[in-house]
Amino acid sequence: MTYPQERLEQLDSFFRAANYLGAAQLYLRENALLREPLRPEHIKPRLLGHWGTQPGLNLTYAHLNRLIQDTDRNVLFIAGTGHGAPGVLACVYLEGTLSEYYPDFGQNYAGLNRFVRDFSWPGGMPSHLTALTPGAMHEGGELGYSLVHAFGAAFDNPDLLVACVVGDGEAETGPLAGSWQSNKFLNPATDGAVLPILHLNGYKLSGPTIFARISKDELRDYFRGMGYTSREVAGDDPAKVHHEMWAALDWAHRKIRKIQQSARSGKSQELPEWPVIILRTPKGWTDPKMVDGRPLEGTFHSHQIPIEDPATNPEHLRLLEHWLRSYKPEELFDSEGKPVAQVTAICPEPAKCMGRNRSANGGELLKDLRVPDYAEYAIRVPQPGETRTEGTKILGRYLRDVFLASAPDRNFRLVCPDETTSNRLQAVFEQTLRDWQLPTVASDEFLSRDGRVMEILSEHCCQGWLEGYVLSGRHGVFACYEAFLAIIDSMMGQYAKWRKMAAEVPWRKPVASLNYVITSHVWEQDHNGYSHQGPSFINMLLTKKAAETRIYLPPDVNCLLSTANHCLRSRDYINLIVTSKKPMLQWLDMPAAQAHCAAKASEWTWASNVDHGQPPDVVLAAAGDVPTRETLAAAWWLRREIPELRVRVVNVVDLFGLQSPKDHPHGIEEERFNSLFGEDSQVVFAFHGYPSVVHELIYHRPNPVRFHVRGYSEEGTTTTPFDMCVVNRLSRYHLAIEALRRTARLGDTGQRAIQLFEKKLQEHREYIRQHDEDMPEVQQWNWSGPVAQAA
């Protein structure tokens, strides 16, 4: 096949111009078009950035432009190697988008100089792709997540084609290696397509890549084994590579169209072989062959700044100038500094330019999630602490009906690492099933090509899919065992960074919040044991910006419903909800739950033993469902044994309520905080996670050392549920003892009660070793019931 010479030349002009501007951004503070001979004072004082990956990104961008012109496709571009930012910025500049978003970077000589100078310059564009970059929804700083983001954006986006350039080093990461399997979840009838382009430039930072050194057959078989058909584009002669890349993109596009047409006309039920392009070009392609007698092009030496110290080394300055002039900038930009028509002719019409792709600024496409009235799922709570219910079971019903309500919009997904049933959320399967494009057998359950629950045993894929889905303007929830959400700590951290910057970019519109439901939590992992007990995700969230993080610990089902509804309707946050899947005592009816959630924390007066206006002897506070139960039981015991003790019971549902309003927007006002916890009262605080969390949050509250926090202290094994509380010293007896120790005025009465509770602990230890279950008085305890006989 031969292609029109004129367009091949246009492609090459764009490629050269992008390469030129990409290299210029690394080096030049002025004289951006080399209108004068290059002098040391034109060179930036600090040379920061990466060259090696840019030519491959630029080539791909140029050719995708051509594809869009010819097919009118809606293409989102994802660069896995975000360190290629100068190349992508150059492409977005050449197509005209950058100047639209950043008028200072106009397509004129002054704008071009400013654009080139501002890269990696204080106050300018950062060295990686960030939320500042039009058309980007992936930073690519921490490598490994490009392909999951691409798939996340493609789900439920039938007209979208996501072109995703994956670095060959990036492809060695665990998350990227797992994410190829996303094709088993992509339904060609209702989802868009992802075209992966493996950028095989042979090297990562300083070593060769595995994929570049395995044989071509092995590489082809690697992709075949994962359900892809690959085609290689290889070479270092741009003219030849342009030819091959044109053909490869047409090949891939034809395949994608055929797969989609066949699925959309109902003809094919087979798992399609999706195309992958392998782009085998030299690292640093088109830079000098040698520097200082050492090979440069095609080696890892091209990764960052290929020619060092040009400002102080005249030979390097000469080599740099020669390299930059090899792109012939005088042919690429006119006398005004504007890219010439020959360069821009290959760009699509403005609305179709990849820098303007609306999926990259998902808030522009966001529709409110249709949700049912959560109050209709409320459970009856005639008396506090009498009935038992599983939180996630009720939440599952609510989510089931979120799927129902949002069905016309197809804009909601649940991601989960194979735990939807284990987490007791299976009511959702009454409305939708698990997405599964592979064959099924009769004994399978809840699988469908059209399912909207995304289950893969990869927390990385779950997280990445949901990020891509949310950033491209949709809604979702990630339900996970508490301990294993920590696997994606770092991904969440990167997402938080993206969100933080996006919130500072005026043209980025708000997106739905990223919602986590943690269950199978530390206090209900008595059966799985120590490995499954880890509440550290809360600690991780605490390190993020207050503006974007929210942590909720609903003490019961009605609070859970109110919280979940709130989170699903919120924007731009990272919401964490911690809840139980086991039958738990219920405390509040729906109106009381609504009031409690709105207040963030409140006194449960029915449980307190303090006359109005009197200071309490001790405040018993709790955050989390199991700690709430233990705190209430402690209050119950104290009221029973020492009726004169003034106990105030406080429950915290919105964890950041504890923080000073100076530190977090959800912080409870000082006056109300003091009305709950007093200014110098002793506080025994039972917390769901690590105790240090509460200490950190109350740091700016009056007299914080009076807070005595119990929580998970890395004690655990396979034991009874209540024993988990005992070994971590969070049990009702421990809390009651601690409260008494902190109340000096009781004298002997207090001592006698302490001895009683210590005896109870001893009985507990003996009982569980004999019976393999908790004492009946513990198991059956409720606020008003059978424990009356227990003492």
Ligand X SMILES: Cc1ncc(C[n+]2csc(CCOP(=O)(O)OP(=O)(O)O)c2C)c(N)n1
Positions that interact with ligand X (CB under 6 A): 52-53, 81, 83, 141-144, 167-170, 173, 199, 201, 203-205, 209, 283, 303
| CB nearer to ligand X: pick between 199 and 301 | 199
Give the nearer residue to ligand X in terms of CB position, either 209 or 565: 209
- Give me the 711-740 binding string for Mg ion, x by CB under 5 A, dash otherwise: ------------------------------
Contact between 390 and Mg ion per CB under 5 A: no
Assess 169 for contact with Mg ion (CB under 5 A): yes
Cβ 299 to Mg ion shortest distance, Å: 11
Phi-psi region of 120 (alpha: psi -120 to 50; beta: other; left: phi over 0): left
Q: State the Cα–Cα distance between residues 679 and 616, nearest whole angstrom.
A: 11
DSSP assignment of 756-785, as one string?
HHHHHHHHHHHHHHHHSS--HHHHT--SSS
Residue count (the chain) = 791
Return the number of the residue (80 or 134) whose C-beta is nearest Mg ion: 80
Provide, rounded to whole angstroms, the least separation between the CB of residue 52 and ligand X. Answer: 5
Site of tokens 């590579």: 241
CB of 585 to ligand X, least distance (A): 44
Give CA–CA dist 604/649, Å, rounded: 6
Q: Is 168 in the site for Mg ion (CB under 5 A)?
A: yes
Distance CA 22, CA 286 (A): 12
Q: Which is nearer to Mg ion, 95 or 168 (CB)?
A: 168
| b/e burial code for range 632-658 (CB count within 10 A of at least 16 → b) | bbbbbbbbebbeebbbbbbbbbbbbbb
The residue among 169 and 473 lying less far from ligand X, judged by its C-beta, is: 169
Residue 637: phi and psi, rounded to 5, are -65, -45
Residue 83 or 280 having the CB closest to ligand X: 83
Shortest Å, Cβ 147 to Mg ion = 15
When the beta carbons of 168 and 524 are compared against Mg ion, the nearer one is 168
Q: What is the DSSP string of 129-143?
A: --TTSTT-----SST
The alpha carbon of 723 is separated from its chain's Cα centroid by a whole number of angstroms, namely: 34
Q: Which segment (197-205, 314-322, 525-533, 779-787) binds Mg ion by CB under 5 A?
A: 197-205
Contact segment (CB under 5 A) with Mg ion among 131-139, 195-203, 680-688, 759-767 equals 195-203
Helices (H), 647-720: 670-677, 691-697
Pick the piece of the chain touching Mg ion (CB under 5 A) from 198-206, 371-379, 598-606, 619-627: 198-206
CA distances 634 to 233, 522, 744, Å, are 70, 20, 18
Pattern of binders to Mg ion over 123-162, x per CB under 5 A?
----------------------------------------
83 binds, among ligand X, Mg ion, none (CB under 5 to 8 A by kind): ligand X
Give the residue with the Cβ less far from ligand X, 53 or 659.
53
* Interatomic CA distance for residues 261 and 272, integer angstroms: 12
For the bound state, the minimum distance from the C-beta of residue 167 to ligand X, rounded and expressed in Å, comes to 2
Q: How many chain residues are in contact with Mg ion, going by CB under 5 A?
A: 4
143 interacts with, out of Mg ion, ligand X, none, CB within 5 to 8 A per kind: ligand X
Distance CA 346, CA 260 (A): 26
Which of ligand X, Mg ion, none does 81 bind, CB closer than 5 to 8 A by kind? ligand X
206 within 8 A of 300, measured Cβ to Cβ: yes
- Taking alpha carbons only, the member of 83, 78, 84 closest to residue 64 is 78
Work out how close the CB of 300 gets to Mg ion at its nearest, in angstroms, rounded to a whole number: 9
Pairing mode, if any, of strands 453-455 and 447-448? unpaired
Query: Looking at beta carbons only, is 52 or 535 nearer to ligand X?
Result: 52
